[in-house]
Structure 1
């Protein structure tokens, strides 16, 4: 009976918070009249065919179709998402009414991971218009200047990808709204408006409700020597802070690539977006300077008929870290040994396709909430809203964040010792851990390894720490957790295919924890997570440790436990790495695939290194810059100074007060109760 009552209250709260017009047929009909094709009727030929309507693909679609003389087709494997609009739009649903595990999720799994309990680990990725930006945890955390400049340094003519270039385009994508005074005070939020954009499509803001314990986060981190940052968005992405999220404060809904870049557009006769259309392969014609993509083949189902669309200018692959290498491999572009084994004719031998795979892995230390905190989370006060209004409470999501550097984790002496040990491991790691027979890929591994090692002596975060207040599977609706996520892995894996059918799942092998340094850094991060929860003022909110529990104390205890507990933080990247071809690179600085004259990849798969960040914000910036590059080539639109602007420095070390025209409210704690109960049902996660 109790579970029935809890469920009823939860569903009632959700119903009150869901705008009545989410399923209004008039609204859906208006969408039909715009740029999404619902009857399957498209033209025979387009200038640009975009393979993937996710985070990056819809940015390119919107920007390239701004030129009325340019025709653009987007082919998206997933559905439109119209039927699950409330699950997408309500931010809190990312945690407790998620689309993960449904038909809107690719439902990928890794192969069994020998160093992670021989488990096959789920890899959720959004399979609908908007891709993972439609299902993720909404974090808008940018990488640091040091990391982005290191990326640019790995690529000849990589200046477009240095901090100035990427920063300008992340700002271009952003529409920042500062928190209300109440929310800022409750969360002890700091920000610097000068490092944010205010006219871009993607809303970046803070929730309209904040759980009071969030306000203890930065003070607690200060107490253990991890100082708060004025604003991590300005290039100094370390220390502790309350992160911005992809939330539209006008109606407290998720802001994602479809709602930001596509839905606001008027009808454009030169733009067509076709859902339920899986790209099966790219067809090429030979030329003096390489193969040219002339057609794209796609289908609705594995057994369904194959359709062809002609390409006048370029194919732009935006399938993400899994989909993009799979499309190239299915098209005969990749390592010869993989293509031969899969029965795919080799068109371009490119050993790096699918290689250099890196991911953030995480788990959490879970505590039972204190009596006072639990009581506040279960207040019986009801919250009612006028019909048709979205709820500020349901915009609450996890956002208390910190990035701990090597010294924070290990202490100065141990950090120096470990750095030396990692450096000495390179020859053996190169020989035993690179899942490729090709020398180019091994050279790329060395370059990435040495770049990653260089971060150990800087302020760059080695582990991300997150305060989770949305419930956990272990502690239920009265739990609080501190998550720890490895940010710069030395373990690299690969993605490959075993058949010539694109509807067959690719093989995903990230080789988690295959390098011992990853175990050490994550182990120490988890110890730090425990320490944070035991440090005032946050310690007043927790009592006993639920998981892994007080019996886990020694290094061996931690390592045994974490091997069976880690999972993905949902940030895979680097599988079509922007590196020299001689280092197993797949694309050059202009995002063009080596050996192909008119195919580019423009998504998170091209990052050659992992960032101490979430990948949503840099992927938006990358897609904006990709559009600049393409338009510069074809439409006479030069790369303007805005594309490589010098960012302002963060200047504030105290909260900046900003009045807001929109209303925010700190709601009754009954809302927290609903959120935590729902977190118990599904468990907590962070994505992108």
Structure 2
């Protein structure tokens, strides 16, 4: 994909940026709401809060504006933003001792729109029961019914033509998508035969079509839409959906290249809590402050929100002591309970067939130019996406499911006595998910070479089949190692610390080999490239080694500022207010208390929409 990346970077270099507001309009000034982070959640909140013309909002975004940039808008450029400082933060985990010592890339979106501007366009929803687990963990009202209602308000789904529906057997359950929302959601104008073959092979292996993949029951295989605008087949993300339509509101202020350092606090007047009075931020290496008359809203994402809180003196006293930050609020849950989705990929070279379109083809300059021309008439690869999915329980993949459950149960039993009350509750839910066959393993088909370690050959077409574990038992940490805000915290997801997480991924890979060997997939595939000969068929130990070496993150890190009761290790209450404060909230993926079996883009929008109602008093979740 490097040629496509370089081509897109050439496009991006032609783009010029402007300041949205100037520093002098912000420094030492006062706004009703100050939002730390102009990503997915931050821009959603800003748009909703400024619907009231009497409410002033300031968004501080550490990256640039990046508006109308082809590299962000054009589909099919999967991964082209990673490693480019203008578009992504190149975060890395610490070496993962249970994953062959590798440091896993944790890239995140940099600039307005955050990760919604560089993600892989996937729009799907988790099982309803996964979201209901939020409520089971002590958060009244945070359930599927309410969160799904918010997500439907976000969705601007365009129904595809009947011919495409009939040809690809798209099920009616997909119509549980909103059609009037600002984030555009669409299927491609055509589904490639490879996606259809993938699902036919799963069906022959006994996997059913999902009953209601967008309505809370994705158990099975399904075709999923993308966050594409069907009118242009370009990316629909927080910038196009929430910022650009509202950018001229006089009460909406955005300062880019403003890196939030910490929240400023003072003792509350009528309680022993703290009140957030503003934030401190860096602009061109100098520190400035801005005042908040009502609230400070931290929307820096699961990787950075814990850092902002710790540098504000809010967190585990031991962690704060190590970096020399005085304790303002003793809150040990900050930076704890970190969860992630793990993925492992298999690569297959396809037999020569000119009718198959794969994204590898764009590496050829002539073909790349042709598909840019095709895109103008809404055809070609830049209208395609990742559309073939399956979300399954472990017992659908392997007869070893009961053994895996028993192993997990035994491991949890050893940890329960020393686990926090909140983690104890999570362990019980995770075991229940395994025992009762709740779907938590995802299979995805991508029509491109996206696997390791063997590289692609020139002029060949590839597909990648991915197995993901979205219900991992392992729990990690994110803690600052220094008081320098420009230094990343130590990102330690503790990948594969619980061996059951590895066992499930291995079973997923074994199952994908069965899928590849089943008609009609076997008629399409020429050879397996990765793992290929590195793993003999049926050799479990070799597959374990392969997974540990080539595992990667799905970039869905969550729960580092979890919504739990405070006595159970929580950081925010059900109104997303930080414990011990009167007016400081966290609004991003860090607040969900337990991970879900689904890609997280829609969840983040839903959390932000619900937060806006809470903040403006339209919804009272505490009474």
Same fold (TM over 0.5): yes
Task: Write the distance in 2 (CA, Å) between the matches of 1:387 and 1:488.
Answer: 38
**Is residue 401 of structure 2 the alignment partner of residue 418 of structure 1?**
no
From 418, 427, 430, give the equivalent of 1:452.
430
SS in 2 for 1:621: helix
User: Does the aligned pair in 2 maintain the 1:187–1:212 contact within 8 Å?
Assistant: no
SS in 2 for 1:114: coil
Task: Write the distance in 2 (CA, Å) between the matches of 1:445 and 1:582.
Answer: 12
User: Does the aligned pair in 2 maintain the 1:87–1:99 contact within 8 Å?
Assistant: no
Task: Write the distance in 1 (CA, Å) between the matches of 2:43 and 2:81.
Answer: 22
1:102 is displaced (CA, Å) by 2.9
- Indicate how the Cα distance of structure 1 residues 185 and 100 shifts in structure 2: closer, same or farther if over 3 A, else same: farther
1:611 is displaced (CA, Å) by 0.6
Aligned to 2:609: 624
Task: Write the distance in 2 (CA, Å) between the matches of 1:260 and 1:613.
Answer: 22
Aligned to 1:470: 448
1:590 is displaced (CA, Å) by 0.6
**Is residue 491 of structure 2 the alignment partner of residue 505 of structure 1?**
no
1:530 is displaced (CA, Å) by 1.3
User: Does the aligned pair in 2 maintain the 1:366–1:548 contact within 8 Å?
Assistant: yes
- Indicate how the Cα distance of structure 1 residues 396 and 387 shifts in structure 2: closer, same or farther if over 3 A, else same: closer
- Indicate how the Cα distance of structure 1 residues 375 and 273 shifts in structure 2: closer, same or farther if over 3 A, else same: closer
Task: Write the distance in 1 (CA, Å) between the matches of 2:584 and 2:555.
Answer: 26
Which blocks of at least 5 consecutive residues in structure 1 are unaligned? 432-438, 641-688
1:98 is displaced (CA, Å) by 2.8
Aligned to 1:115: 98
Aligned to 2:467: 484
**Is residue 131 of structure 2 the alignment partner of residue 143 of structure 1?**
no
From 385, 404, 419, give the equivalent of 1:397.
385
1:285 is displaced (CA, Å) by 0.6
Q: How does 1:631-642 map to 2 (within 5 A)?
A: 631-632=616-617, 637=618
Aligned to 1:597: 582
Which blocks of at least 5 consecutive residues in structure 2 are unaligned? none
Task: Write the distance in 1 (CA, Å) between the matches of 2:15 and 2:414.
Answer: 61
1:234 is displaced (CA, Å) by 0.2
Task: Write the distance in 2 (CA, Å) between the matches of 1:257 and 1:360.
Answer: 22
**Is residue 394 of structure 2 the alignment partner of residue 406 of structure 1?**
yes
Task: Write the distance in 1 (CA, Å) between the matches of 2:375 and 2:491.
Answer: 45
Instruction: Output one character per residue of 1:24-49: Cα deviation in whole Å (capped at 9) or x when no partner.
Output: 98xx88xx7xxx32566237001111
- Indicate how the Cα distance of structure 1 residues 65 and 23 shifts in structure 2: closer, same or farther if over 3 A, else same: farther
Task: Write the distance in 2 (CA, Å) between the matches of 1:319 and 1:261.
Answer: 17
Higher relative contact order (CA 8 A, sep 6+): 1
Aligned to 1:216: 197
SS in 2 for 1:358: coil
Aligned to 1:521: 504
SS in 2 for 1:577: coil
User: Does the aligned pair in 2 maintain the 1:186–1:214 contact within 8 Å?
Assistant: no
User: Does the aligned pair in 2 maintain the 1:130–1:256 contact within 8 Å?
Assistant: yes
Instruction: Output one character per residue of 1:467-487: Cα deviation in whole Å (capped at 9) or x when no partner.
Output: 121223535242222111111
SS in 2 for 1:514: coil
Task: Write the distance in 1 (CA, Å) between the matches of 2:541 and 2:137.
Answer: 37
- Indicate how the Cα distance of structure 1 residues 396 and 194 shifts in structure 2: closer, same or farther if over 3 A, else same: closer
Instruction: Output one character per residue of 1:530-563: Cα deviation in whole Å (capped at 9) or x when no partner.
Output: 1111111122111221111244332111111111
1:289 is displaced (CA, Å) by 3.7
- Indicate how the Cα distance of structure 1 residues 465 and 9 shifts in structure 2: closer, same or farther if over 3 A, else same: closer
**Is residue 90 of structure 2 the alignment partner of residue 90 of structure 1?**
no
**Is residue 220 of structure 2 the alignment partner of residue 239 of structure 1?**
yes
Q: How does 1:149-160 map to 2 (within 5 A)?
A: 149-155=132-138, 158-160=139-141
Task: Write the distance in 1 (CA, Å) between the matches of 2:372 and 2:317.
Answer: 62
User: Does the aligned pair in 2 maintain the 1:334–1:353 contact within 8 Å?
Assistant: yes
Task: Write the distance in 1 (CA, Å) between the matches of 2:488 and 2:232.
Answer: 38
Task: Write the distance in 2 (CA, Å) between the matches of 1:101 and 1:515.
Answer: 33
Instruction: Output one character per residue of 1:380-420: Cα deviation in whole Å (capped at 9) or x when no partner.
Output: 99567489666553131222111120211223xx3233323
User: Does the aligned pair in 1 maintain the 2:127–2:439 contact within 8 Å?
Assistant: no
Aligned to 1:55: 40
- Indicate how the Cα distance of structure 1 residues 281 and 184 shifts in structure 2: closer, same or farther if over 3 A, else same: same
Task: Write the distance in 2 (CA, Å) between the matches of 1:193 and 1:7.
Answer: 35
Instruction: Output one character per residue of 1:276-324: Cα deviation in whole Å (capped at 9) or x when no partner.
Output: 11110111111224000112100125xx221111111111111111111
Aligned to 1:650: none
Task: Write the distance in 1 (CA, Å) between the matches of 2:439 and 2:292.
Answer: 43
Task: Write the distance in 2 (CA, Å) between the matches of 1:627 and 1:135.
Answer: 24
User: Does the aligned pair in 2 maintain the 1:252–1:392 contact within 8 Å?
Assistant: no
Q: CA RMSD in A?
A: 2.8
Task: Write the distance in 2 (CA, Å) between the matches of 1:485 and 1:211.
Answer: 22
Task: Write the distance in 1 (CA, Å) between the matches of 2:372 and 2:552.
Answer: 38
- Indicate how the Cα distance of structure 1 residues 527 and 200 shifts in structure 2: closer, same or farther if over 3 A, else same: same
Q: How does 1:73-84 map to 2 (within 5 A)?
A: 73-82=58-67
Compute the TM-score of the two structures, normalised by the length of structure 1: 0.83
Instruction: Output one character per residue of 1:119-168: Cα deviation in whole Å (capped at 9) or x when no partner.
Output: 1111110111000000000111111111111111101xx33211111010
1:10 is displaced (CA, Å) by 10
**Is residue 30 of structure 2 the alignment partner of residue 42 of structure 1?**
no
- Indicate how the Cα distance of structure 1 residues 325 and 315 shifts in structure 2: closer, same or farther if over 3 A, else same: same
User: Does the aligned pair in 2 maintain the 1:452–1:609 contact within 8 Å?
Assistant: no
Task: Write the distance in 2 (CA, Å) between the matches of 1:408 and 1:449.
Answer: 22
Aligned to 1:560: 545
Task: Write the distance in 2 (CA, Å) between the matches of 1:194 and 1:391.
Answer: 24
Instruction: Output one character per residue of 1:441-471: Cα deviation in whole Å (capped at 9) or x when no partner.
Output: 6222222121111111345322110112122
